[in-house]
Amino acid sequence: MLHSHFSRIFKAFALLILMLPGQSWAAPLSYDLKPQLIAEDTYLLQGRLEDFSRGNGGNIVNTAFIVTRDGVVVFDTGPSFRYGKAMRQAIAQVTDQPVLHVFNSHHHPDHFLGNQAFADGTIWALPDTGRLMAEQGGAFSDNMYRLVGDWMRATEMQLPNRPLQVDRLQVGEHRLRFFPMTGHTGADLVMLDETTGVLFAGDMVFYQRALTTPQTPGLAVWLRDLDAIAAIPHRLLVPGHGPAVPDGSAIGQMGDYLRWLDLTLRSAAERGMSMTELMKIPFDARFAEVALRRHEFIRTVAHLYPRYEEAVFQKQ
């Protein structure tokens, strides 16, 4: 009787502690990365379909690695030094092989601020990606400190140390091919592992999560690149955000969404709609499963609508 009374009090107390705000002292900042085997020798660390927050530490991104007989290939390194270190630990749980090559898909912070944990290896990126990181990486990093706080502690930008100017590379038994594109940020790397048929699309493809547009050269450019991606023979596609898929559903959804965005912005501009009106328009039901669609649509309108208005103005 007495025991159950104390146990009730204890439970109530424990519950109260859990409900207290600002409980970061109670929760260690752990990314808890779980490598998911998605193809032979190939592992995915899938991020959440969310925006950056203090709850997720910026782990909203997909990173991946391939274990070859000569060493490990890493594709993207995550949003922070802490993530990069956690990724190295996750790799070490799978293999004793050293990390040989790291590839950064593009200069967005969630894809490369983990580089610091791989500074002893070769970090490749497209030359324009390296330039964009040097130009904008500091501001991105500051913003990440604001958005996710303590998770970023000790993170310093580590630029790539090897410009990617080849279109293929053999690592162990894996034949890698590289496709430089521009649709998402002006410099976007897509990598195919010909040995397994896994296509690492970076943020050229988002799936089940709305795409982001702050640096896109334009939706038409992105759509052209997407056609080129669809033409690369592959067995499994790994998007920058969202689940990996063995069929064309991710490219299909992405193309559908990009065309809808382009058409919606163009017709709104032709009708003289204001930016605030446009931000509130209803979504087509077929995008009901796309996470963060309203949030990203509002941002996209802010980024791109002036260009569409300008195009209408030029025609008049």
Number of chain residues interacting with Zn ion (CB under 5 A): 2
Residue 199 Cα to chain centre, angstroms: 15
Minimum gap (Å) between residue 288 Cβ and Zn ion: 23
**Of the two residues 121 and 186, which places its CB atom closer to Zn ion in the complex?**
186
Buried-exposed string 254-268: b where 16+ CB fall within 10 A, e elsewhere:
bbebbeebbebbeeb
How far apart CA 164 and CA 270 sit, in angstroms, is 42
Minimum gap (Å) between residue 111 Cβ and Zn ion: 6
Residue 234 engages Zn ion in binding (rule: CB under 5 A)? no
Minimum gap (Å) between residue 54 Cβ and Zn ion: 21
- Of 15-23, 79-87, 198-206, 307-315, the segment contacting Zn ion by CB under 5 A is 198-206
Residue 241 engages Zn ion in binding (rule: CB under 5 A)? no
- Of 72-80, 102-110, 164-172, 257-265, the segment contacting Zn ion by CB under 5 A is 102-110
Interface residue with Zn ion, options 41, 76, 193, 203 (CB under 5 A): 203
Minimum gap (Å) between residue 108 Cβ and Zn ion: 3
Please give the structure tokens belonging to residue 189. Answer: 């790397």
Pairing of strands 122-125, 162-163: parallel
Minimum gap (Å) between residue 184 Cβ and Zn ion: 6
Q: Residues 303, 286, 199, 34: is their CA dihedral positive or negative?
A: positive
Beta strands in 131-283 (DSSP E): 162-163, 168-171, 174-181, 188-193, 198-206, 236-241
Minimum gap (Å) between residue 109 Cβ and Zn ion: 9
How far apart CA 92 and CA 35 sit, in angstroms, is 11
Contacts of 89 (CB under 8 A, 6+ apart): 33
**Of the two residues 47 and 57, which places its CB atom closer to Zn ion in the complex?**
47
Interface residue with Zn ion, options 82, 101, 107, 108 (CB under 5 A): 108
Residue 76 engages Zn ion in binding (rule: CB under 5 A)? no
Residue 225 engages Zn ion in binding (rule: CB under 5 A)? no
- Of 296, 298, 292, 252, the C-alpha closest to 275 is 298
Q: Which residues bind Zn ion (CB under 5 A)?
A: 108, 203
